[in-house]
């Protein structure tokens, strides 16, 4: 009997060992195309869906006490799900992106991954797949795909912007890289995006409308976040080159690899132009990017990045009517230029305090120099037709600061609170130059002088505290709110005497702003959600608006109040519709006002109204064909605007086309794996060229064609035909002092590229 009992016990132990053993499973989840870690992927057991986990910021996961006989399933939004027998789970699980997936995960609005349909703001994303398809020469090819966005290409990556505003050079946009502003407050430059490294981009997110409650000054018309690539889990390197028939060249190399718990990613790129279709239009841009990630332990993760840009371009200026419509691209300017050097660094610690709290601490530094001999500063002498007056100027700053945020979540309540500090000493100088003008109206040479027009230093300090929270009141209803308080100080040290052209006395000016936001989101079902919000944006006076004169004007921050409602709809992974209506009112806008003594002074003396309807629609006709249209119908008015003694109240603002939209038709033939054909159309309505509403520009419509093919996931070739019909058009048109000025869009160009990826 004892022998039988012993035999039974041994048999049961063996059977349990073979069939019921629990083991530990660990691995990393990556994107099959980019090799990057996928954050927040869901890992669960098919036999026990309550037992599971998610991948961390490094794509890593671990599941303990897992039945060896079970099946593991891995899923993530935007990717095809996979399943493995527990004993056969690979150390690296590669998920394939779903090109027909309409749902998006966005980051910018909340600072952490969040479903688009759960985000109560107008936000768009240009995905990694789209970036790979575009292979851009300049960033407007990317941003103009988003609803309500019109980035104006001024040549050689110089630009202006229009998001819930007319085409503008004002500081009403905030440009970020990995959630950090690329420039400091008070020193906005409308050409700031020449300081973005194209080779480092993973995806781009655009918030439309004021979002100062999170990001502070400048997040008014929109906030654009350029998100950089993460290190790949396995080695991955790519070399590429691109050129076109109008002088453009680009070449670069990217590399990425992980060694244990340390990941490395880098990008090196050169872009330039020689002998383009416009005279005096050469440029050179050198970009370098490096990122390192370190997984310290199960709770702590560090990410550090450095970005360097060196850029120089000729400045061609606009054309008058005769030159533009005659397609005469002779440049009146033979020496004007713009150059920029930008160096940015940050190091960010992610630390999981407990299951409810996550700390994010970032330290950052910037160094920036923007110098130019600008064509728009050249003015003809009143008496001598061969003499003109200009200047060479330079604006520089360096920054150091930190951001500290705590993300807290407990059941239906989620909150983020934090503080930030940005200290940025800056300087600006401008030197007078004598310019020679030929009898043919060509500005061909100049003579430097020892006459300083402007020379000052300003220490800029921005302290802020902010908090944002959301509460799931009902299963279908979420309430949101937040605020930010900014304390901004300018400390001016002017090196010129009061009698100088820019001899404003030394001063310290302080600006404070409280910017709230409130909102709600209602999810009718998994296919349909509605949202509404109120937000307030602000910008303090720019340093140049205060100190480039003989006295310091009394100015207050400009405030923008935004009311918005929208909806997001999806249907069976075939159709998505994104709609938004906004009403934006600006108060205390800064304009130049003529005083009784004939002098001019900047004052908070204007009000404007902006309203519009934005739409984004994408429809998958079949796995091979899809169609999208994105755009906005907008109105921009002066409520109270009386500059230089003239009254333009009630007029439409110049540079404000009512309707702007783009349409994309995409084809991926199943019988040619890795191939695509994309036809794009971009339409801009007619708009007024001047504040008096006396002249209109007729608008334009251009087409682009993109064709590409990937071979064995290694070689890729592409051909992009920009301005397919060779349309004559102006990216911007204005009327000032009775003179029309047109900035011509690029002629038709054939852009041929090739890349090779190895891993």
The DSSP annotation for 154-210 comes to EETTEEEEEESSSSB-SS-EEEEETTEESS-TT---TTGGGGS-GGGEEEEEEEES-
Euclidean distance between CA atoms 630 and 102, whole angstroms: 15
Phi, psi (deg, nearest 5) at residue 212 = -65, -25
Euclidean distance between CA atoms 596 and 50, whole angstroms: 76
Residue with tokens 């949202």: 531
Residue with tokens 């713009």: 338
Over 571-603, what HEC string results? ECCCEEEEEEEEEEEEEEEEEEEECCCCCEEEE
| pLDDT band per the 50, 70, 90 thresholds, residue 101 | low
Euclidean distance between CA atoms 305 and 63, whole angstroms: 31
- With b meaning 16 or more CB within 10 Å and e meaning fewer, what string describes 196-217? bbbbbbbbbbbbbbbbbbbbbb
Residue 100 inside a domain? The answer is no
- Taking a C-beta distance cutoff of 8 angstroms, is the pair 317, 323 a contact? no
Euclidean distance between CA atoms 567 and 404, whole angstroms: 33
pLDDT digits over 667-717, tens only?
Answer: 999 889 889 999 999 999 999 999 999 999 999 999 999 999 999 889 999
- Taking a C-beta distance cutoff of 8 angstroms, is the pair 13, 59 a contact? no
Euclidean distance between CA atoms 247 and 749, whole angstroms: 10
pLDDT of residue 18: 47
Residue where a domain terminates, one of 69, 95, 121: 95
Euclidean distance between CA atoms 651 and 89, whole angstroms: 66
Q: Which residue from 386, 385, 360, 388 is spatially nearest to 374, judged by alpha carbons? A: 388
Q: Which residue from 414, 405, 407, 478 is spatially nearest to 215, judged by alpha carbons? A: 405
pLDDT of residue 424: 97
Euclidean distance between CA atoms 219 and 124, whole angstroms: 15
pLDDT beyond 50 at 498:
yes
Q: Which residue from 159, 201, 150 is spatially nearest to 176, judged by alpha carbons? A: 201
CATH number at residue 328: 2.40.170.20
State the burial class of residue 739 (Cβ atoms within 10 Å of its Cβ: 0-12, 13-18, 19+). Answer: exposed
Euclidean distance between CA atoms 392 and 452, whole angstroms: 10
Euclidean distance between CA atoms 657 and 679, whole angstroms: 23
Give kind and range of the element (H or E) at residue 95.
Answer: strand 92-95
pLDDT beyond 70 at 19:
no
**Do 214 and 237 share a structural domain?**
no
CATH number at residue 137: 2.170.130.10
pLDDT of residue 359: 94
Q: Which residue from 392, 384, 378, 394 is spatially nearest to 435, judged by alpha carbons? A: 378
Quote the percentage of the chain above a pLDDT of 70. 94
Quote the percentage of the chain above a pLDDT of 90. 66
- Residues with Cβ within 8 Å of residue 418, at least 6 apart in sequence: 403, 404, 405, 406, 465, 466, 467
102-124 average pLDDT score: 68
pLDDT of residue 15: 46
pLDDT of residue 16: 46
Q: Which residue from 578, 568, 566 is spatially nearest to 525, judged by alpha carbons? A: 568
pLDDT of residue 85: 87
**Do 262 and 320 share a structural domain?**
yes
What are the tokens at 624?
Answer: 């091979």
pLDDT beyond 60 at 133:
yes
- Strands 749-758 and 236-244 come out as antiparallel
Q: Which residue from 518, 535, 519 is spatially nearest to 585, judged by alpha carbons? A: 535
- Mean pLDDT is lowest, of 81-90, 134-143, 193-202, 310-319, for 81-90
**Do 649 and 606 share a structural domain?**
yes
CATH number at residue 67: 2.60.40.1120
- Taking a C-beta distance cutoff of 8 angstroms, is the pair 290, 306 a contact? yes
Residue where a domain terminates, one of 95, 125, 154: 95
Q: Calculate the CA 336 to chain-centre distance.
A: 28
Kindly report the pTM of this predicted structure: 0.91
pLDDT of residue 103: 56
Give kind and range of the element (H or E) at residue 131.
Answer: helix 128-134
- With b meaning 16 or more CB within 10 Å and e meaning fewer, what string describes 410-449? eeeebbbebebebebbbbbbbbbbebebeeeeebeebeee
**Do 78 and 115 share a structural domain?**
no
**Do 579 and 595 share a structural domain?**
yes
The DSSP annotation for 532-557 comes to EEEEEEEEPPPHHHHHSSSS------
CB under 8 A, 24+ apart: contacts of 19-23: 19/69, 20/67, 20/68, 20/69, 21/67, 21/68, 22/65, 22/66, 22/67, 22/68, 23/66, 23/68, 23/86, 23/87
Which sign does the torsion angle of CA 152, 155, 157, 160 carry? negative
In a 3-state reduction of DSSP, which class is residue 5? helix
- Strands 105-106 and 114-115 come out as antiparallel
**Do 133 and 60 share a structural domain?**
no
pLDDT of residue 108: 59
pLDDT of residue 120: 76
**Do 328 and 231 share a structural domain?**
yes
| pLDDT band per the 50, 70, 90 thresholds, residue 598 | low
Q: Which residue from 574, 584, 576, 640 is spatially nearest to 607, judged by alpha carbons? A: 640
| pLDDT band per the 50, 70, 90 thresholds, residue 597 | low
Residue 195 inside a domain? The answer is yes
pLDDT digits over 463-491, tens only?
Answer: 999 999 999 999 899 999 999 999 999 99
Euclidean distance between CA atoms 193 and 209, whole angstroms: 19
**Do 387 and 241 share a structural domain?**
yes
pLDDT digits over 741-750, tens only?
Answer: 999 999 999 9
- Mean pLDDT is lowest, of 95-104, 151-160, 241-250, for 95-104
168-179 average pLDDT score: 92
722-744 average pLDDT score: 92
Residue 277 inside a domain? The answer is yes
What are the tokens at 648?
Answer: 């333009």
Residues paired with 2 in a beta bridge: none
Residue where a domain terminates, one of 42, 70, 95: 95
592-604 average pLDDT score: 72
Euclidean distance between CA atoms 130 and 145, whole angstroms: 10
**Do 467 and 327 share a structural domain?**
yes
pLDDT of residue 17: 47
- Taking a C-beta distance cutoff of 8 angstroms, is the pair 537, 598 a contact? no
Residue 428 inside a domain? The answer is yes
- Mean pLDDT is lowest, of 311-315, 419-423, 526-530, for 526-530
Euclidean distance between CA atoms 261 and 420, whole angstroms: 29
**Do 307 and 177 share a structural domain?**
no
- Taking a C-beta distance cutoff of 8 angstroms, is the pair 261, 295 a contact? yes
Euclidean distance between CA atoms 72 and 41, whole angstroms: 13
**Do 212 and 247 share a structural domain?**
no
Give kind and range of the element (H or E) at residue 212.
Answer: helix 212-215
Euclidean distance between CA atoms 684 and 10, whole angstroms: 81
pLDDT digits over 430-447, tens only?
Answer: 999 999 999 988 999 999
Which range has highest mean pLDDT (36-40, 520-524, 631-635)? 631-635
Domain membership of residue 67 as a residue range: 2-95
Euclidean distance between CA atoms 699 and 53, whole angstroms: 53
**Do 123 and 25 share a structural domain?**
no
pLDDT digits over 207-228, tens only?
Answer: 999 988 888 898 899 999 999 9
pLDDT beyond 70 at 581:
yes
pLDDT of residue 599: 65
| pLDDT band per the 50, 70, 90 thresholds, residue 282 | very high
pLDDT of residue 615: 96
pLDDT beyond 60 at 6:
no
Number of domains in the chain: 3
Residue 454 inside a domain? The answer is yes
pLDDT of residue 51: 77
């Amino acid at each position: 009997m004892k022998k039988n009992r012993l035999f039974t016990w041994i048999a049961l132990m063996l059977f349990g060992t073979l069939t019921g053993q629990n083991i530990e499973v660990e691995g990393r989840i990556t994107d099959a195309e980019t090799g990057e870690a996928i954050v927040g992927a869901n890992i669960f057991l098919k036999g026990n869906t309550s037992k599971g986990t998610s991948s961390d910021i490094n794509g890593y996961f671990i599941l303990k006490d897992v039945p060896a006989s079970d099946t593991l399933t891995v899923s993530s939004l935007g990717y095809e799900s996979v399943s493995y027998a527990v004993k056969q789970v690979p150390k690296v699980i590669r998920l394939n992106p779903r090109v027909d997936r309409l749902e998006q995960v966005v980051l910018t609005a909340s600072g952490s991954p969040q479903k688009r349909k759960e985000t109560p703001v107008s936000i768009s994303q240009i995905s990694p797949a789209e970036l790979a398809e575009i292979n851009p020469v300049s960033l407007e090819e990317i941003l103009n795909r988003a609803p309500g966005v019109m980035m104006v290409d001024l040549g050689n990556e110089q630009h202006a912007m229009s998001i819930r505003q007319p085409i503008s050079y004002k500081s009403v946009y905030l440009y970020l890289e990995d959630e950090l502003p690329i420039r400091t407050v008070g020193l906005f430059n409308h050409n700031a995006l020449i300081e973005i490294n194209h080779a480092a981009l993973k995806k781009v997110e655009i918030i439309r409308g004021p979002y100062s409650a999170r990001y502070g000054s400048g997040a008014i018309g929109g906030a654009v976040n350029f998100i950089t690539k993460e290190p790949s889990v396995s080695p991955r390197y790519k070399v590429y080159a691109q050129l076109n028939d109008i002088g453009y060249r680009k070449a670069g190399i990217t590399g990425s690899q992980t060694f244990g718990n340390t990941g490395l990613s880098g990008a090196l790129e050169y872009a330039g132009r020689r002998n383009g279709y416009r005279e005096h239009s050469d440029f050179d841009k050198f970009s370098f990017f490096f990122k390192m990630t370190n997984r310290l332990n199960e709770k702590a993760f560090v990410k550090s990045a450095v970005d360097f840009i060196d850029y120089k371009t000729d400045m061609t200026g606009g054309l008058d009517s005769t030159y533009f419509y005659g397609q005469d691209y002779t440049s009146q300017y033979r020496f004007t230029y713009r150059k920029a050097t930008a160096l940015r660094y940050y190091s960010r610690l992610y630390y999981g305090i407990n299951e409810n709290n996550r700390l994010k601490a970032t330290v950052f530094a910037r160094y920036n120099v923007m110098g130019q001999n600008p064509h728009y500063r050249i003015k003809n002498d009143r008496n001598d037709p061969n003499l003109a007056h200009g200047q060479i100027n330079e604006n520089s700053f360096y920054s150091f600061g930190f951001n500290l945020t705590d993300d807290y979540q407990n059941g239906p309540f989620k909150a983020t609170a934090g503080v930030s500090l940005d200290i940025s000493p800056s300087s600006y100088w401008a030197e007078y130059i004598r310019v020679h003008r030929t009898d043919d109206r060509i500005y061909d040479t100049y003579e430097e002088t020892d006459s300083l027009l402007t020379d000052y230093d300003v220490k800029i300090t921005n302290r802020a505290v902010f908090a944002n929270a959301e509460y799931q009141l009902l299963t279908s209803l979420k309430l949101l709110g937040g605020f930010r308080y900014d304390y901004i100080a300018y400390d001016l040290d002017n090196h010129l005497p009061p009698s100088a052209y820019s001899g404003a006395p030394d001063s310290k000016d302080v600006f404070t702003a409280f910017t709230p936001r409130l909102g709600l989101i209602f999810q009718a079902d998994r296919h349909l959600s509605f949202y509404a919000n109120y937000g307030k944006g602000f910008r303090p006076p720019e340093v140049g608006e205060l100190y480039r004169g003989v006295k310091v004007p009394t100015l207050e921050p400009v405030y923008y109040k935004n009311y918005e409602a929208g909806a997001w709809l999806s249907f069976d992974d075939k159709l998505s519709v994104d709609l938004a209506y906004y009403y934006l009112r600006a108060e205390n806008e800064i304009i130049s006002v003529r005083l009784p003594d004939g002098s001019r002074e900047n004052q908070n003396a204007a009000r404007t109204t902006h309203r519009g309807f934005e739409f984004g629609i994408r429809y998958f006709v079949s796995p091979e064909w899809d169609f999208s249209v994105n755009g906005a119908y907008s109105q921009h008015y002066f409520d109270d605007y009386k500059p230089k003694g003239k009254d333009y109240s009630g007029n439409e603002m110049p540079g404000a086309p009512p309707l702007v939209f783009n349409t994309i038709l995409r084809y991926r033939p199943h019988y040619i794996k890795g191939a695509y054909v994309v036809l794009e159309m971009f339409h801009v309505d007619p708009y007024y060229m001047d504040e008096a509403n006396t002249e209109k520009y007729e608008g334009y419509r251009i087409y682009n064609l993109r064709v590409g093919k990937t071979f064995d996931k290694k070689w890729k070739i592409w051909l992009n035909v920009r301005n397919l019909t060779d349309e004559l058009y102006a990216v911007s048109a204005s009327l000032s002092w009775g003179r029309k000025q047109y900035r011509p869009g690029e002629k038709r160009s054939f852009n041929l590229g090739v890349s090779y990826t190895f891993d």
